[in-house]
Structure 1
């Protein structure tokens, strides 16, 4: 288990380039299974979750060639579908939640797809009903081996288009059903579809491959099935979750930082939400400039004077992946805020580590926490902690960088799952951080 040792309390300064979007990359990589033609993908982040999925694709028989940093070529013309029912796949697929999205393209192209019960962050229960319910509506038969915790769908007579209303606007569920429906016979409509930029990017990639998709960017996708898809070239967006992380880092450490090439048009209300905490940020071309907050930052209140409430919601609402960052940044603000994590019941449990560091946080229940900001009058104290998941891990790292003294964070493999060369990039702007294996 690897460890970070962080000497906090230092101001940082410089430019930082966001990595490619993790959540988009996982979807796009699964889409290479839809065609035997070559697909080239650029700006793929070099992180653990993405590397695991690329390894799984290679074991499935996808021909993979690295073209350069973040750039790969994929060709799925000779796949070994027997691998899907092997013990090796059951072991490898369990460790990565994103592996669930190989089922849709395999089902659409070959009429069958299998997956072990996927793992991922311990942030609460994340159901797979949306995925498999959509496959069944397209004509697939579902089976589940309870003893081996193994899921399967088969469509021996092919898939047929259908109209469906999703029970939840699941991003991975929408992606999975969309990729299956692209090669189904007839027309499919997916209502209450997720419409995050990641889904929009997947739709645009599929259209460039020859798919017929309408309603891109809305919660109603209309698909007309095609017989086959061709190759394409695609570029992954910058990671908006990492961009939000750098905004929070700049505020907490009173640092002057420029985040380069952020794709402003795809950030939604993320900048506005950070401004609610009093954080100043400027749009400079396609960059975000955050000045050093030497006088701190003040949380706004609602127009009637009531306490600010920041909560997550499906896009275009505020992404749940950044609520942990918002919470840790609020610990040093002027004022108070209620953080409401609606979607996952275990995501706020890391606040006990912040309380140990001296933060004033009241955990009301698994979904709500009230934060009373210190206004930097009382600094966080260095401590030893363990990263429970990707987003909590980066939040604890930000807290450690702002705290006086030397902190230790164990289980940083969780952070590595979502952030590329995090310590190297932080050192480049002045952070005192070391990695120990």
Structure 2
């Protein structure tokens, strides 16, 4: 067995790669199941053909390791599935951290003018390249991503994701009212462009399409009906939109859709609540909304850094748990203030505390991995180390900074170590990232050049 600290290129067909280190993954929600996760202090991942063959204690798996296997030794480092971001706007990459008194002002002042630029294919490609690299630098290997109203923007992100072999979902935004004329489509053109993009990209390799009405106020009833028709025509397509992000928005929706029982009900009337549908924010819901969300199988994308930055409000974990909602974790860049899932966990913990709820580190890591995979219907592909899953994972360094190192040395439990990562971590914690069993990023490039 060959031991190597370097990161070679493509493995010969049939070669087994053994990743040794502290291995953690989740099987179910640790909030409700004591056996929700598996952890091996001296563990191993056996990877072949880009997929997980086995995960477990190194000593238990050693007899299954072929003599010609390649061993990469990360002992002392923590290895977890790649993070999954369920709500992020790639066209807002360059307006992150833009000052604004609130959501609607932020959209008019920064977001819409920036999104106008994505009509130009070269501009969209440049941002998509940076965006996908930034995701990887932060340990995010899969994401549900927003493009702009332009088909060129979705094309650019799909192409950049395909080049990096990422499991990525996006869709062109649909909005035909209450937005600048330069970003407006129609019910007909929005549906036609979406169908064309689905024919081109949906289920191509590791890519998938999301039907993407921006939010109820920017779509006429005709456009929402067209979204519903698309959803029926493509039952395996994803759906993404926003719901109940702030009080002003909720009031506006009530004025625009006076016959709807609630903001969520607007979408429900058009058949947009189902498994694989993701609703960003979902702060201002009533019990009937939460019951309907749970019954439908749709998921919430909780975006804590964005909710704090825009002053939108605090997600209610007590009510979320009471209704057993499918909750996932999302950065919501550029309303969100970081690509880092650690900083997102940090904010999620504090938002939960403001509501009198203790969000454990174990659960935060679950929300950023297996919970998202389950909500996507992709638990057999990503989000864990179960046999047959795609080998997307990240290596976390407990000595990434002097402070994290000092705190890690005092960590007596897995929860304490994970909590230190969540409260103190950022992209510096990411030692390495693997996609389909292959190391990516700057270290790989340097090793190959050497």
TM-score range, shorter chain: 0.3 to 0.5
TM normalised by structure 2 equals: 0.31
TM normalised by structure 1 equals: 0.32
1 or 2, which has the higher helix percentage? 2
